[in-house]
Amino acid sequence: MTIKETAQRAIQLMDLTSLNNNDSVEVISNLCAAAKTDFGSPAAICVYPEMIVWSKLELARLGLHSVKVATVTNFPEGSENVDRAQAETERAVAAGADEVDVVFPYKALIAGNAQVGFELVKACKEACADKAKLKVIIESGELKTAALIRQASEIAISAGADFIKTSTGKVPVNATLEATEIMLKAIQASGAKCGFKAAGGVRTADDAAQYLELAASIMGIDWISADNFRFGASSLLGNLLSTLNNAEAVEKDGY
């Protein structure tokens, strides 16, 4: 796959994200507008729960009916309060979220409590019912060890996660190829229909290519689609568009 083909594919696998404390309706309108490119649109935009309704309206106004709206719950701290996480997820789904990215109680797992993670994911999956997909953020950079990353992945999958996701993007270490390999192999070993999302730290077409190559080597190239694989990013889109526009300029110049 050429770098241009990789860049275009990566756009269509993106959750274009804005999760900043100063997000306003103007910021989110601009985010939605950015989703309309000459090279296709992201799979979803990811915003805070209070911006779900506005995002839906803006995407509809722009004619971007295929772009999903994702949101976050139990974010970013990964509390072990199951009732709160479930209630937040229920409210997000009621507001119209197509996908919910919930933070796994990773600190509890580090402390030796594996059961609460299963219960929290299961409760949030029930809250999503058949109305929204549940993406579980295991916070791999905080779990650190291969054993804990694998355990969190296995717990989330067994509790019904539709996706497992590396990171919140709010900690020092976010997506890495090492964590991605562990998580993809957990999905493969489970035999479950579960997707994967790399979030934070994927900034260029070259970065995206490495993740796509790794996923293809473990899961097969046909597995890679927006139903199974996502990038969560804010700055990635601009870099992908630069790659594509530069490639087009070169082609027009005949080189």
Per-residue pLDDT of 68-124, as tens digits, reads: 999 999 999 999 999 999 999 999 999 999 999 999 999 999 999 999 999 999 999
**DSSP-derived pairing of the beta strands 229-233 and 14-17:** parallel
Residue, of 37 and 1, whose pLDDT is higher: 37
Dist CA 236 CA 210 (whole Å): 14
Confidence of residue 255 (pLDDT cuts 50, 70, 90): very low
- Return phi, psi of residue 225, to 5°: -155, 170
For residue 108 the two structure tokens come to 């509890």
For the chain, the domains span 3-245
**What are the distances in angstroms from CA 20 to CA 27, 79, 192?**
10, 19, 33
Compute how many other C-beta atoms are within 10 angstroms of the C-beta atom of residue 145. Answer: 11
Confidence of residue 247 (pLDDT cuts 50, 70, 90): low
Give me the mean pLDDT over the 4-16 stretch: 97
pLDDT tens digits for 228-242?
Answer: 999 999 899 999 999
- The whole model's pTM is what? 0.96
Q: What confidence score (pLDDT) does residue 54 get?
A: 98
Q: What confidence score (pLDDT) does residue 1 get?
A: 85
Residues recognised as catalytic: 101, 165, 197
Nearest in space to 200 (alpha carbons), one of 236, 165, 238, 232: 232
Cβ-contact 132, 101 below 8 angstroms: no
Percentage of the chain lying above the pLDDT 90 cut: 95
Confidence of residue 253 (pLDDT cuts 50, 70, 90): very low
- pLDDT at residue 125 is higher than 90: yes
Confidence of residue 251 (pLDDT cuts 50, 70, 90): very low
Mean pLDDT of the chain, nearest integer: 96
- pLDDT at residue 34 is higher than 50: yes
Give me the mean pLDDT over the 165-184 stretch: 97
Cβ-contact 155, 113 below 8 angstroms: no
The CATH class of 3-245 is: alpha beta
Give the burial class of 214: count Cβ atoms within 10 A of its Cβ; 0-12 exposed, 13-18 middle, 19 or more buried.
middle
pLDDT tens digits for 194-210?
Answer: 999 999 999 999 999 99
What are the strands, taking DSSP E only, across the chain? 14-17, 44-47, 68-73, 99-103, 133-137, 163-165, 195-199, 229-233
Q: What confidence score (pLDDT) does residue 248 get?
A: 61
Dist CA 176 CA 202 (whole Å): 9
Dist CA 205 CA 202 (whole Å): 8
Nearest in space to 197 (alpha carbons), one of 146, 162, 222: 162
